[in-house]
Chain A
Amino acid sequence: MQQFDFYLWLSGLWDWIWGVLLWFWGILKWFVIWILDVIDGIWALVALPENFMFLVRAILMPGLIFVLFALIFTVWYTRKIWARVQDRRGPTHVGKYGGYQLFADAIKLMAKETIIPLKAKRWMYRILPSLLLVIVLLTFAFIPWDPYWNILGAPGSAFPDLSVSLVLIFALLTAVPVFSLLIGWVSGSKYSLIGGFRAANNQFASEIPMVISSVGPAMLAGSLSMFSIVAAQTSIWYVVLLPVNFATFLVASIASVGTFPFDAPVADSEIIFGWRTELSGIYFTVVYFAEFAEQMLYSALMVALFFGGFNGLPFLPGIVNFLIKWLVIYFLFTLVTSSFYRLRQDQIVHLCWKYLLPLSVLNVVLVMFAVVYIPGLLPLVIGG
């Protein structure tokens, strides 16, 4: 056994320290290089013109910020129309014509105490309302606001023409009744449970006529892509050819949102506020916004499917055309919602399955025959 040589050990110590230092330096260098690489990658991604434009679109222009501002405007617009229908003035005092009223309301609602009922499932109760809003806002990615300024579906962007965007929108919206049912369930209250079941029932009844009504424009344009459907309407708007389809889509979409004539899920004279009864504070705010976002989405869908989307006055930008039509359609939507009495739940299902569904299916059949047998139709509807 060799004797331990202290001096030999001491002379090797320097090498050891040096090795440790090199090791640390290696980690540091690797980390710095990694971060630089990430920054490089992001920079490379963003610096590519189309990628940068995609970011701008997704966050700024027809994306998140634009949709949020549109949402704020929509709430104000709806309240003003409701007020006018009811012989009132609506918000007037905060800001010019009450324009900032929503901010005041949002601050007030968020500052309120969040009361979670004792019987509620706390974790689900906290997460579900925001998920609902996220799901509803996601669908705005597929709306063709403009020939070029789109998140998805713009020619020349990172994600060009998405071929199934119409189907994707409805696929995302299928989650909404699940959320309302779950919110009603986890609130732990009888009123909200009844409301949740009614909301789910309502949506299952109305979603199918709505989807089938949207088949008509898709068949005329020969595409399931929202962008192509809008682009095909250069010669003629589909509302001229498919007025019945538009009517069924309008009624089914109102039923699907669950606003006034079809507001059995939140009927305040029976079940206090339906599946939203137990929500308070920020959760209520989020759900409230989600409802308005849904109304906004359906009117935008109607503009895109039946009113030619961004086609219109040629000297205006496409998005301005779209927004003008959207304002008019939204006005119509709100007018229809605020002039009828609340239907019972069984009557809603009766209406949707016995009247809207046969009408929309019949229209699909008619469109099929028309596309085949009317000779001048195809060049007209496919567009230039």
Chain B
Amino acid sequence: MGFVGNLGDIFRILKHVFRQVFRRPFTYFYPFEDRPYPEATRGRHIHIREKCTACAQCVRACPVAAIRIDKEDKKFEKDCALYFDYTRCIFCGDCVSACRFEALFHTPIVDISEGDREDLVYGPDKITTLDRDPLEWRGRRFR
């Protein structure tokens, strides 16, 4: 090693740092740009009520008891209403893999933060559709 070796090491480090300065930064402007999410992304759920059979397997599979079922609320022949509590959900994907009737899926939507705690409990009106209110900030529209 010695003094000269240390100087060489120092200049090698400075070279790496200097190169890094002129490289394009890795981060992106999050609300303005977004990265592509893969299809498999475990985001918020969507419940397809036409196919649901009210078997409650998703409720049994949930490790954190985030799903509540209401069997009285029928829209089709044998479906049910599901209430997803996203304050509890850990997005483990067990409910989706437990569903044998292809009635429950994850979607690649992950930005589900809300200003109010109650808004994170997705009732049957919100969980069956992907539509939601547009978000405007400084004259630009997201979502």
Inter-subunit contact B25/A339 (CB<8 Å)? no
Which stretch of A79-87, A120-128, A268-276, A311-319 is in the interface?
A: A79-87
Are A85 and B17 in touch, CB under 8 angstroms? yes
- Quick one: closest A residue to B26, CB to CB? A87
Q: When the two chains form the complex, which single residue of A83, A92, A339 contacts B17, counting CB atoms closer than 8 Å?
A: A339
Residues A340 and B20 in contact, CB atoms below 8 Å apart: no
B13 touches A89 (CB 8 A): no
Q: Which residue of A lies closest to B3 (CB)?
A: A355
The 28 sampled A-B contact pairs (Cβ below 8 Å) are A81-B21, A83-B25, A84-B20, A84-B21, A84-B25, A85-B20, A85-B21, A87-B20, A87-B23, A87-B25, A87-B26, A87-B27, A88-B25, A88-B26, A88-B27, A89-B27, A89-B29, A335-B17, A335-B18, A335-B21, A336-B14, A338-B17, A339-B13, A339-B14, A339-B16, A339-B17, A340-B10, A340-B13
> A87-122 CB contact bits vs B (8 Å, 1 = yes)?
111001000000000000000000000000000000
Tell me the bound Cα distance from A178 to B88 in angstroms. Answer: 53
Most chain A CB within 10 A, of B13, B26, B27, B29, is at B27
How many chain A residues sit at the interface, stated as a range, is: 10 to 19
Give the residue name and chain of the B residue nearest to A92 (CB).
B29
> How many residues does chain B have at the interface if contact means C-beta atoms less than 8 Å apart?
14
| Closest chain A CB from B4 CB (angstroms) | 14
B23 partner residues in chain A, CB cutoff 8 A: 84, 87
Q: Which residues of A are found within 8 Å of B27, using beta-carbon distances?
A: 87-89
CA distance A83 to B20 in the complex (A): 10
Closest B residue by C-beta to A84: B21
Cα distance, A85 to B20, chains bound together (Å): 6
Chain B residues positioned under 8 Å from A81 (CB to CB): 21
Q: Chain B residues with Cβ under 8 A from A87's Cβ?
A: 20, 23, 25-27
Contact, CB under 8 Å: B17 / A89: no
**Residues of B contacting A85 in the complex (Cβ-Cβ under 8 angstroms):** 17, 20-21
Q: How far is the CA of A213 from the CA of B13 in the complex (A)?
A: 25
CA distance A340 to B23 in the complex (A): 20
Expressed in whole angstroms, the Cα–Cα distance for A87 and B10 within the complex equals 20
Considering the complex, which residues of chain B in the window 8-67 have a beta carbon less than 8 Å from any beta carbon of chain A? 10, 13-14, 16-18, 20-23, 25-27, 29
**Beta-carbon contacts under 8 Å, A320-373 to B:** 335-336, 338-340
- The chain A residue with its CB closest to the CB of B7 is A247
User: What are the 7 closest A-B residue pairs judged by CB atoms, nearest first?
Assistant: A339-B17, A84-B21, A87-B26, A89-B25, A339-B13, A88-B27, A89-B27
Most buried by A among B13, B14, B21, B29: B21
Residues of A near B13 (CB, < 8 A) are 339-340
A335 contacts across to B, CB distance below 8 A = 14, 17-18, 21
Note all chain A residues with C-beta closer than 8 A to B17.
85, 335, 338-339
CA distance A243 to B81 in the complex (A): 77
Contacts of A84 in B (CB 8 A): 20-23, 25
Nearest CB in chain A to that of B21: its residue:
A84
Please give, as numbers and ranges, the residues of chain A lying within 8 Å of B16 by CB-CB distance: 339
The residue on B at minimum CB distance from A247 is B7
Considering the chains assembled together, what is the distance between the CA atoms of A92 and B30 in angstroms? 11
How far does the Cβ of A87 sit from chain B's closest Cβ, in whole Å? 5
Knowing that A335-B17, A336-B14 are A-B contacts, what are 4 other residue pairs whose CB atoms are under 8 Å apart, sorted by A's residue number?
A: A84-B22, A89-B25, A335-B21, A339-B14
